[in-house]
Amino acid sequence: MAPNPPPTGGLVLSRSLLFVPGDDERKISKVGQVRTADALIIDLEDAVAVTRKDIARDRLPDTLSALNDARPLLVRVNALDTGRTEDDVAAALTARADGIVTPKIGSAADVRRYEAMASKAAAGVFFVPLIETASGLVHLAELAAASPRVRVCALGAGDLVADLGLPAAAHDDDGGVVDFARLMLVVHSRAAGLAAPLDSPELNVRDGARFRIRCEHARLRGFGGILCIHPSQVAVANDVFAPTPEEVERARSIVEAFDRAEQAGSASITVDDAFVDYPIAEAARRVLERHTLIQQFAAHTGVPPTGDPP
């Protein structure tokens, strides 16, 4: 029997979206055991050799069936200029994927092409556009609002750096063009009413400290999660992109104190010597809402909010 949909449908949480090559049965089995990833992405694109792309596509029904659980299962298809996209999308929808990760989206017209391919799919099937080109950055406002199926955007820094003709070191240049792209994604995602965007993968899968720093950097800039390419990255992403116990307790204190003050006729107070007004109280409510959502999602999937169960 298929699992019930997540509590609010679609991509409930996006702290950690874990990629797996669609042609590698061993890796598919391995990621299936990473129960705390918020979603899994079966990759038909960059992680699959050209000579095996048909194999990965043909295996989609069995792959999604093997991974079937309470989390969203997505498929990253091949880009629109490859001649493979329509068949990839059709296979993903036939296999009952929850979402489509769409690479190298450069315009609203690109999104509408995917919309046409998915026109007969259930309304809950969603898109995750990857912003990986200068054109994608320039047209972010339009493409983010081009379809109700677009739920969250993600950054592909490696392809973006290549598209701009920059040296590979630009990928890690804090304050450089990739950071500029991050800020654009945050602003335009918010303006379009989307979830907070997803950061580009960290390619050094053996340096856990570096990955944590990357996640903290992204969270401070307004990202809601990160694309993961190794199971070891999931627990760190879940930890960093969730409110800490101290943040939750602080938010609870602010909301409770502000609600009491508002009922008494005041909308500006201090909590532990810090000024609190409506914007501060609203930010605290969002912290509590995210904390509650994480707890509900953990209960729904049957695993702890962070870290894999023993």
Q: What is the pLDDT of residue 58?
A: 97
DSSP string, 136-200: HHHTHHHHHTS-TTB---EE-HHHHHHHTT--GGGGG-TTSHHHHHHHHHHHHHHHTTPPPPEEP
**pTM (2 d.p.):** 0.90
Amino acid at 169: A
Closest CA to 93 of 72, 113, 117: 117
Q: How far apart are the first and last CA of the chain?
A: 26
- pLDDT tens per residue across span 55-64: 999 999 999 9
Burial class (CB in 10 A: 0-12, 13-18, 19+), 54: middle
- Helix (H) / strand (E) containing 127: strand 126-131
Which of the residue ranges 61-65, 70-74, 173-177, 251-255 would you say has the lowest mean pLDDT? 173-177
- pLDDT tens per residue across span 154-206: 999 999 999 999 888 777 777 788 999 999 999 999 999 999 999 999 999 99
Q: What is the pLDDT of residue 127?
A: 97
Query: Angle 204-12-147 (CA atoms, 0-180°, nearest 5)?
Result: 95
Backbone angles phi, psi at 78, to 5 degrees: -80, 150
- pLDDT tens per residue across span 34-57: 888 999 999 999 999 999 999 999
- The model's confidence at residue 305, banded by pLDDT at 50, 70 and 90, is low
Residue 8 pLDDT > 70: no
Give the span between the Cα atoms of 228 and 154, in whole angstroms: 12
Domain ranges in the chain are 16-240, 245-301
Beta-bridged to residue 128, according to DSSP, are: 101
Query: Angle 117-127-92 (CA atoms, 0-180°, nearest 5)?
Result: 55
| CA 32 from centroid of its chain's CA atoms | 18
- pLDDT tens per residue across span 210-226: 999 999 999 999 999 99
**CATH assignment, 16-240:** 3.20.20.60
- Collapsing DSSP to helix, strand or coil, 41 comes out as strand
